[in-house]
Amino acid sequence: MSLLTVGSVAFDAIETPFGKTDKIIGGAGTYIALSSSFFMKEQRIVAVVGDDFPQEMIDTLVSRGVNTDGLQIKKGEKTFFWSGKYHNDMNSRDTLVTELNVLEHFDPIIPENYQDTEYLMLGNLSPQVQRSVIERLEKRPKLVAMDTMNFWMEIALDELKKTMSMVDVLIINDEEARQLSKEYSLVKAAKVIRAMGPKILIIKKGEHGALLFHGDKVFFAPALPLEEVFDPTGAGDTFAGGFMGYIAATDDYSFDNMKRAIIAGSALASFCVEKFGTDRLTEISKKELEDRIDQFISLTAFEMVVPA
């Protein structure tokens, strides 16, 4: 099976109640590809960086099976930079700086050897760029999933709606779902958003888990209760990468398999928040991941008999 990820590959500077980082590696595309690599031994990426981006991270992606033919490196230009500060609850944050740099004029090029892509994960990027990737694939992938954020709702709502009308799965957080639908109830929000195009909607609720709306069915997955959340940056992208990586690796996008994929994404996201940036994601073993998935299973499994 083939999976293509499109998304920002970036520098981030993060401030949490636990500390502060200088420029570290981040970006939606980076988190998605690292996360999906736990399930997909080969995958592809379309993204852009400046020549200030460290070769070591590109080597890390390659060593994890990511084909980087679609990663453009722009000479003399600067990589996208984002900076954010988390509030004490770690569930909400303020964006302090967004410097688009190379992303401002990003023209995604799809290498010929990516044309047979079956699963497409459109990570957070401008909706125009996300759409041009769908349009430049000669054959529509089996499943197209998309992430976005409030930034694009504020500056490019019409473009966002056009792109949304072309995808199968939308993955957003609760705050974004409310902003997009103008509905407070997430059930009502899901109705409004699904009428805009995506048949399947996943609403992430941070430490409160995630909801999947699929046909007339709904599934809820908890988040693992963690003693300490160090840095939530990239948790949403890690979730999306684990979700799509699992779907692509199993080549099954039925409701039942999407439930498993959501647990896979949630398990990987629970690791991501344990250290700053991508640090934790690059050190997890298969055994640790399996143990954590088991924790998820036992977290919600119970038997019950109603007394007579």
For residue 259, count CB atoms less than 10 angstroms from its CB and return exposed for 0-12, middle for 13-18, buried for 19 or more. Answer: middle
242 binds ligand AMP (CB under 6 A): no
50 binds ligand AMP (CB under 6 A): no
Site string for ligand AMP, 22-41 (x = CB under 6 A): ----xxx-------------
Q: Which residues contact 227 (CB under 8 A, 6 or more apart)?
A: none
Q: How far is the CB of 304 from ligand AMP (least distance, A)?
A: 36
282 binds ligand AMP (CB under 6 A): no
Percent helix, percent strand, percent coil in the chain, to nearest 5: 40, 25, 40
Query: Of 143, 170, 189, 235, which lies in the binding site for ligand AMP, with binding defined by CB under 6 A?
Result: 235
Distance of CA 61 to the CA centre of its chain: 16
End-to-end Cα spacing for the chain = 51
127 binds ligand AMP (CB under 6 A): no
Nearer to ligand AMP, 7 or 198 (CB): 7
Integer CA distances (angstroms), 198 to 193, 215, 253, in order: 7, 11, 14
Question: Footprint of ligand AMP on residues 155-214 (CB under 6 A)?
Answer: none
Question: Footprint of ligand AMP on residues 58-117 (CB under 6 A)?
Answer: 82, 98
Asked if 131 and 159 count as a contact pair (C-beta separation under 8 A), the reply is yes
Query: Of 73, 99, 150, 151, which lies in the binding site for ligand AMP, with binding defined by CB under 6 A?
Result: 151
Nearer to ligand AMP, 27 or 70 (CB): 27
Distance of CA 202 to the CA centre of its chain: 11
Residues interacting with ligand AMP, by CB under 6 A? Answer: 8, 10, 12, 26-28, 82, 98, 124-125, 151, 233-237
